[in-house]
Amino acid sequence: MSKFTFKKGIHPKHAKSFTKDRKIEYILPKGDITIMLQQHIGAPCKPLVKPGDLVLVGQKIGDSDAFVSAPVHSSVSGKVKKIADVLHPSGSKMQGIIIENDGEYNEIEMVPKDPYIMNKDEILASIREAGIVGMGGAGFPTFIKLNPPNSDEIDHIIINGAECEPYLTSDHRVMLEETDRVVLGLSVILHMFPKAKGVIGIEDNKPDAIEAMEKAVAKFQQESDLEIAKNMSVATLATKYPQGAEKQLIYSITKREVPSGKLPADVQCIVQNIDTVVAIHRAFFRGRPLMRRVVTLSGENVTNPGNYKCKLGVSYRELIEHAGGKIEESKKIISGGPMMGMALFSVDLPIIKTSSSILLLSENEMHMGEENPCIRCGKCVETCPMNLLPLDLDKFARNDAKDQFEQYNGMNCIECGSCSFVCPSKRHIIQAIRTTRRTIMAERRK
Amino acid sequence: MSDLNIVSSSPHIRSKDTTSNLMRDVVIALIPATLVGFYVFGLAAVFTVLLSTLSAVFFEWIYQKTLTGKTSIHDHSAAVTGLLLGLNLPAALPMLPDAAKEITMVNFLLPFAVPILGSAFAIIVVKQLFGGIGNNFMNPALAARAFLIVSFADHMTTWKNIEPVFSSSVDVVSGATIMGMIKNGGLVIGPSVLDAFVGTIGGSIGEISALAIIIGGIYLIVRKVITYHIPVYFIGTVAIFMVLASLFSSNGFDPSFIGYQLFGGGLMLGAVFMATDYVTSPMTTTGKIIFAVGCGIITSLIRLVGAYPEGVSFAIIIMNLAVPLINRYTIPRCFGEEK
């Protein structure tokens, strides 16, 4: 069978062998936890509790009236210590609710719901109420993504199991260990889009995940009497970065290009992350809001690399120490994947809904090198999945030539980092492009 | 811990490729052609190539040290330029003046002056004055060769006084190059097309063996240092022109004419190593094809109707100048942009 893929892209070392065979380990927080009021794109939540209040597991403790937002819930039981500005994984200080964990994990009543007897609006409301956001990294509220203006036209629900970033294995493990939940989560979405195909796309470097998902889908199709069961399938993707980038994934599976400045729904597609789908499963079949996620801890400086299921709000430091990460010896500590993640200057941060991984990298894993002049070798042009000219954009960005930057389609850059990765002169191409994109976006908002 | 970590922008991992690795691959790819040159022309070739390479590195070093205090000779790009220039020169060993053998002081000095002046021109005038690596607007080695042809026409276009270590045909030592013979009367006396392909002919040190250059070219393509587009389209265009020229010539169709045209001059060296220079060739595949076809057309026109017997260097230099224009008109369609 031919594999689904897109044009160009790169082949970095997978570096997944650290953790791909490590079973998901469930760990409980030791100390206080911090629930950030902003764990998504959109308006931050307002606290619904005050210091001194007692909270329970699953209790909604922050919400917002704004449309683009998602509530947050306590992942432990205990007393609210304080509400203060704390360091957020994005690097700035934001409001968080610090809860003294009593270690009892007393829960509010959480009642499973049958999504198949609910209508679309009820399902969307439940997804919002469960605080579910895109857990691949962006954190866009899922109830909005699943409610595009052209809902009737959507013909593809794509579940992103590509996990194309090196090191990351949390989606891989979830597909292996929580296979049925992925299928059930997808069935809830398909229930809202009965005409759409539900395609789970997985890179072919995870043959065990492909096999497991295919079996689970076949089993579901046999046993379920739902009409939409027959719409499900698994697609084998070529292993290539950035296969899991939304636009590239849509192209790989449907051969449709999301037009510049448009959204996946404009080509009748919706893409959801694996962990997000599992969160949807939990929201309905177990009645539980989003309170935990799977985090890959990896890199040469982690003694026990692995995939850890942890409660939201536990600190990075606690998780790193649990896995035997050598913080002091690491050259770089990254939240997210090595291609698009963020380097951290502190590990005293809480895990949020979008924290997919923590990497402690040594110098020899990075090949950084000193920046040299561009020799116009064109390797960036050969790899850019958006078919841009990164070397020219880099030059325009550094010369502050914003008009030319836009004329050369710089705003279409998805910041996947392929150009910087291949650059033999080790130029910080993405850094220059990203800065200029941010500047132009800020100017447009004025 | 904040001072213990590097907090730089993503991506946090890079490929192992570096500029100096790429340049080293170019040097490796040039080894077969260089060795054939050494074999055919002997000590004179070794002398010329070493002198041009060393002086190119020296000029890069002295220029940068003087002006910036730092040097980038470790990226090997100056060595590549010097080596390419050397391979584009006739082999010449300095000989002590001797009135009886009509060897003058000039015969002694030119073998020194030509490689050194050429390297100085390539590195200082063409490369460094325009901003160093990545900023030169034409191929430094070729620009230097053009400079030398204009300045030392005799020295650059004759191959006298050279004793080949080995040759199947003795004529090459005293005669003109194949391209010169074709220009002068159209008849090639002496070397066969096979000689031209293997390299036992007269010419610049590195251009004589098409076989050795093709081996180097395949290495570069396999190592992904270059793509096949420029060499294939360049050589292909020349081949088409020469087939047409032969078909319409008064002598009738002659396959050996095409063979000589492809393997007898500087086409192979130019198409594989000179036209593919990163800085002075276009970025996109479309651009590369336009560039290569342009090189092929100009080469063919110079060879067929121009005054010079050989046109590869000038063709590439002219097309180098057109690269910014080609780049401007071949901006690729961005993913998601309207078709």
For A153-163, the pLDDT digits (tens) are: 999 999 999 99
pLDDT bin (cut points 50, 70, 90) of residue A446 is confident
* A106: pLDDT strictly greater than 70: yes
Which residues of chain A make contact with B324, given a CB cutoff of 8 A?
none
* A259: pLDDT strictly greater than 90: yes
What pLDDT, on the 0 to 100 scale, is given for residue B172?
A: 38
Q: Show the domain range for B285.
A: 19-329
pTM reported for the whole predicted model: 0.89
What pLDDT, on the 0 to 100 scale, is given for residue A2?
A: 66
| B5 to A377: CB separation less than 8 angstroms, yes or no | no
Q: Which two tokens stand for residue B235?
A: 């050589």
Residue B57: which CATH number?
Answer: 1.10.3430
The minimum CA-CA distance between B284 and chain A, rounded to whole Å, is 7
What is the tens place of the pLDDT at every residue in A308-342? 999 999 999 999 999 998 888 888 899 999 999 99
| A332 to B335: CB separation less than 8 angstroms, yes or no | no
Q: Kindly report which listed range (A179-188, A355-364, B170-179, B188-197) carries the lowest average pLDDT score.
A: B170-179
Mean pLDDT of A181-185: 96
Q: Mean pLDDT per segment of 10 residues, for chain B of length 339 residues?
A: 66 90 94 93 92 96 91 90 94 78 79 94 95 91 92 75 42 58 69 82 88 96 95 97 89 85 91 94 94 96 86 93 93 86
What is the tens place of the pLDDT at every residue in A17-55? 889 999 999 999 988 999 999 999 999 999 999 999 999
| A328 to B1: CB separation less than 8 angstroms, yes or no | yes
Distance CA A405, CA A373 (A): 19
**CATH 3.40.50.11540 segments of chain A:** 115-286
Which residues of chain A make contact with B134, given a CB cutoff of 8 A?
373-376
Average pLDDT, whole number, for chain A?
A: 93
* A372: pLDDT strictly greater than 60: yes
Mean pLDDT of A157-181: 95
Distance CA B12, CA B25 (A): 26
Do β-strands A342-343 and A332-335 pair in parallel, antiparallel, or remain unpaired?
Answer: antiparallel
Q: Which two tokens stand for residue B4?
A: 């213990």
For residue B314, is it within any domain? yes
For residue B213, is it within any domain? yes
pLDDT bin (cut points 50, 70, 90) of residue A138 is confident
The minimum CA-CA distance between A90 and chain B, rounded to whole Å, is 12
Percentage of the residues of chain A whose pLDDT score is greater than 70: 100
Complex prediction ipTM: 0.86
For residue B59, is it within any domain? yes
**How far is CA B37 from each of CA B98, B149, B233, rounded to the nearest angstrom?**
27, 20, 26
Q: Considering only CB atoms, which residues of chain B are within 8 Å of chain A?
A: 1-2, 4-19, 21-22, 72, 75, 77, 132-135, 227, 278-279, 283-284, 331-338
Distance CA A401, CA A235 (A): 42
Q: Which fold has domain A115-286?
A: Rossmann fold (3.40.50)
What pLDDT, on the 0 to 100 scale, is given for residue B188?
A: 65
Mean pLDDT of A61-76: 94
What pLDDT, on the 0 to 100 scale, is given for residue A251?
A: 96
| Whether A430 contacts chain B with CB within 8 A | yes
* A141: pLDDT strictly greater than 90: yes
- Beta strands across the sheet bearing A269-273: A232-237, A197-203, A156-161, A269-273
State how many domains chain B has.
1
What pLDDT, on the 0 to 100 scale, is given for residue A233?
A: 95
Which range of A2-11, A133-142, A154-163 scores highest in mean pLDDT? It is A154-163
